Amino acid sequence: MNCGGVTTEVRGHVGWVTIDRPDRMNALAKATFAALVDASLELDADPEVRVVVYTGAGERAFSAGVDLKELDASGTMVHPMGGAGRNPNEVILELGKPTIAAINGVAAGGGCELALACDIRVASSTARLGLPEARVGMGANFGSVVLPQLIPRGLALELLYTGDLIDMTVARRLGLVNHVVEPSELLRFTEHLAARIAGNAPLSVQRMKAVALKSAGLPTAAALRLNAGPNPYTSEDRIEGNRAFVEKRKPQFRGR
């Protein structure tokens, strides 16, 4: 399904969200932001989907960021999250299911922030990422919050202040991406990784994500007492997992 420049597809237990504006370097128009929110929430609500992957169409860009051609009459940027719209980066960050960014090319500005919102990042060796908002007189609010949580503060601030785009050798060294693969292997590698995650007990994975997300910044004692996400301990899947272990077979998890 294609809506607002975003294509969604479900293959097995994996939902794929593709920013499909290759002629515009997959730039994020106002309609694209709305479509990303809708697609994310729909896949999160789909009981058959256990992992959500985000990528860009074509080979040039994951997303070049906000479409700067969307200006009002005075030349001021029409902010894509204006009005009743929700911020897709926040929606993706807080999604109940695990998320993967398959970074197939340039991920700049809002495109970089979208990748940072995902739990796991897999990148093509030819990709570059960065937050160049300072070069065009804009801010990077989401990136300014999240980037210093992912890499050392001084390095994050340098990237924010300079607006530099970094290659994947640097990104991998900083820990910004989990895996770097050849362009021809990106989708295959990501699909395999997503399938491995989807093969585990969904409630267990969702519990781990919720605890990891909501415990951030808490004192250790408080974090260890945190009760977040679904409870896998009393689930049918826990019984199935134990039974499969005893019977030496692959468990058949149902997400309940």
Active-site annotation, residues: 113, 133
Report how far residue 40's alpha carbon sits from residue 15's, in angstroms, rounded to the nearest whole number.
9
Q: Distances from the Cα of 247 to the Cαs of 201, 234, 239, 243, 251, in angstroms? A: 17, 20, 12, 6, 10
Evaluate whether 249 touches 239 at the Cβ level (below 8 Å): no
Report how far residue 150's alpha carbon sits from residue 141's, in angstroms, rounded to the nearest whole number.
15
Q: Using alpha carbons, select from 123, 101, 202, 136 the residue that is nearest to residue 170.
A: 123
SS3 214: helix
Evaluate whether 40 touches 33 at the Cβ level (below 8 Å): no
The sign one gets for the Cα dihedral 145, 151, 157, 160 is negative
